[in-house]
Amino acid sequence: MRSTWAFDLAGRLAGRIAAATGTRARVRRRPEGGGYRVEAVLPEGLGDVPHLLLLSVLAEADRYGHRYCGEVDLVWAEVDDRAGRGAADGSG
């Protein structure tokens, strides 16, 4: 069953990551289940302000990171499905 809270948060993170990077962000169900993964290409020459905005968005995820994939750098963030997690404050 899809956690609406986790799916909604992943969608919000995707929108904010896209705005910070100027690229398209994808939301996918994690292959092992239990949450969602957001990925976006990190453009070359991203300025300081967009970079700081991106870091603040990534910090809202349960996990986040960066990887080099062929010719591009990707940033990713994961949101876990967790029963009882508070939508307002992220606790639970």
Q: What is the pLDDT of residue 2?
A: 53
Cα atoms found within 13 Å of the Cα of residue 84, Cβ hemisphere only: 1
Q: Is residue 18 part of a domain?
A: yes
pLDDT along the chain (92 residues), means of 10: 80 97 95 89 93 95 92 94 52 40
User: Count of domains in the chain?
Assistant: 1
Q: What is the pLDDT of residue 82?
A: 74
Task: Report the interhelical angle of 48-58 vs 4-21 (nearest 10°).
Answer: 170
Q: What is the pLDDT of residue 4?
A: 85
Q: Is residue 87 part of a domain?
A: no
Q: Residue 10 belongs to what domain range?
A: 4-80
pTM of the shown model: 0.81
Q: What is the pLDDT of residue 88?
A: 41
Q: What is the pLDDT of residue 92?
A: 38
Q: Is residue 29 part of a domain?
A: yes
